[in-house]
Structures are given as structure tokens and as C-alpha cells.
């Protein structure tokens, strides 16, 4: 991460490492916190509900998976930021649940920059069209944008999608008349390219924890 920041002429502390801990148990989180990690990402509310109470209090939790409306209350209660808001309706539900809990919820808007049918996320122009309406919701704070580019084994192939998200962020800032703090983009295989293109949050799991563990019991 430091080397990528250096190449991009950025300060090393301008990028936060979000450790993607999904499928890994609470004891792994304790080891990670002891090693200096503080920010963790989960993609299933039900898994996080079991894990978070058993994790160190120093850990900060981000929701990075697809969020269903019926899980919004739990997500708002458990997490400090939601990275995957992809519709006005979902934003309105999060706002409602945040109001009930007396909480202001930082969010990122997930954008499907490649237009992949297999992925969730806003179409870019729809995100821009609904931006002011989401920004008007009193219990939400838009902190930036998030994307997951098409899968590739060649990191450089992700660059155009990261660049597109950075350009969308600039357009969103012009609409809102205010800066957005974060670009959440880049994973284990392409985070250096993402940093070169402006990422402020990189979501890394495999490079930290190894392959994901199965949560299903073994069968014989």
C-alpha cells in the first residue's frame, strides 16, 4: 500500500485498509486486532450478529455485502458504515431505521460501473440522478462511492473501472457542492492499481487471512 501511494504521489495515511473478515471466526479478528488492524468488513448481517459481540471492542465494522431491506435495522445497529447502498428505496429504509435507533449512518453508494448483470450496484447515471434525494435524508451521510470491477487475474484490467468511479465521484461532488471522503475500491488482487487511481478504502481478505473458510459443517 505504501509503495502504491508513493507511485501515485499520495501520503500513505490517505488509504485505509479494510480487512474483509467474512467467514473467519472471532478469534481470527482478535489476532488481527493484536497485529494492528482496526477496520473490518462483513457481507452477511446474520454472520456479523454472532461475530461482532465476541470481537475486540477496538474493531470498527463496515457492511460491504448486498443489503436487503429486511436486514436494515440490524445493519444500522451493528455497523459503523454501509458500503453497498444501491437504490433510493434502500437508502430510505436505512434512514428510517437509523432514526428509530437515534443514529446517523455513514454510507457509500455502490456503483456497477461495468454494467454487469450478475452484480448489484447503481447504474452510474441513476446514481447521479438520485444523489440529491439521498443526500436530503436526514439520518444518512454520503461519504463516497464503492465499486467491484469485473473479475480478472490481471490487475491492470481493473484500472478503467477504478478511473471511472473516480470520475463519477467528481461529478457527484459537483452535484452536491461538497467533497466526498471515500472511494472504496480494490481487493487483494488489484488494490495497488486502485490506490493509484484514488482509492481511500481497500477491501482485502485473502491476502490477509488466506482462503475463506466454509461456514457449512463438514459432510461425510
Angle, to 10 degrees, between the axis of helix 124-135 and the axis of helix 159-176?
Answer: 30
Residue 196 lies in a domain: yes
Residue 92 phi/psi, 5° resolution?
Answer: -65, -40
Residue 19 lies in a domain: yes
pTM attached to this predicted model: 0.92
| Confidence band, pLDDT 50/70/90 cuts, at residue 214 | low
Average pLDDT over residues 110-139: 97
Q: Which CATH number fits the domain that encloses residue 165? A: 3.20.20.10
Give yes or no for a contact between 52 and 29, defined as CB atoms under 8 angstroms apart: no
Average pLDDT, the chain: 94
pLDDT digits (tens, 9 = 90+) for 34-52: 999 999 999 999 999 999 9
pLDDT digits (tens, 9 = 90+) for 143-165: 999 999 999 999 999 999 999 99
> Residue 215 above 80 pLDDT?
no
Residue 174 lies in a domain: yes
Give yes or no for a contact between 94 and 86, defined as CB atoms under 8 angstroms apart: no
Residue 130 lies in a domain: yes
pLDDT digits (tens, 9 = 90+) for 173-211: 999 999 999 999 999 999 999 999 999 999 999 999 987
Residue 219 lies in a domain: no
Residue numbers of the domain that contains 83? 2-209
Give yes or no for a contact between 111 and 163, defined as CB atoms under 8 angstroms apart: no
Residue 217 lies in a domain: no
pLDDT digits (tens, 9 = 90+) for 90-116: 999 999 999 999 999 999 999 999 999
> Residue 216 above 90 pLDDT?
no
* Long-range contacts from 22-25, C-beta under 8 angstroms, 24+ separation: 22/47, 22/65, 22/205, 22/212, 23/47, 23/212, 23/213, 23/214, 23/215, 24/209, 24/212, 24/213, 25/51, 25/213
Residue 218 lies in a domain: no
Looking at the structure of the chain, the number of domains it has is 1
Residue 215 lies in a domain: no
Amino acid at each position: 500500500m505504501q509503495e502504491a501511494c508513493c507511485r501515485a504521489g499520495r501520503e500513505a495515511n490517505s488509504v485505509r485498509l479494510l480487512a474483509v473478515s467474512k467467514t473467519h471466526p472471532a478469534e481470527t479478528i482478535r489476532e488481527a486486532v493484536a497485529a494492528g488492524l482496526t477496520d473490518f468488513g462483513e457481507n452477511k448481517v446474520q454472520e456479523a450478529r454472532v461475530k461482532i459481540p465476541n470481537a475486540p471492542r477496538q474493531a470498527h465494522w463496515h457492511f460491504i455485502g448486498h443489503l436487503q431491506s429486511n436486514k436494515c435495522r440490524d445493519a444500522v445497529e451493528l455497523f459503523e458504515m454501509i458500503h453497498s447502498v444501491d437504490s433510493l428505496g434502500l437508502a430510505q429504509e436505512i434512514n428510517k431505521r437509523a432514526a428509530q435507533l437515534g443514529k446517523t449512518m455513514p454510507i457509500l453508494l455502490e456503483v456497477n460501473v461495468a454494467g454487469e448483470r450478475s452484480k448489484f450496484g447503481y447504474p452510474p447515471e441513476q446514481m447521479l440522478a438520485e444523489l440529491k434525494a439521498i443526500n436530503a435524508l436526514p439520518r444518512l451521510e454520503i461519504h463516497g462511492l464503492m465499486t467491484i470491477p469485473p473479475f480478472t487475474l490481471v490487475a491492470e484490467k481493473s484500472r478503467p473501472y477504478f478511473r471511472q468511479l473516480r470520475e463519477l465521484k467528481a461529478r457527484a461532488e459537483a452535484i452536491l457542492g461538497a467533497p466526498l471522503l471515500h472511494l472504496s475500491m480494490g481487493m487483494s488482487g488489484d488494490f495497488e492499481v486502485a490506490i493509484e487511481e484514488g482509492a481511500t478504502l481497500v477491501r482485502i481478505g485473502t491476502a490477509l487471512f488466506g482462503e475463506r473458510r466454509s461456514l457449512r459443517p463438514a459432510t461425510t
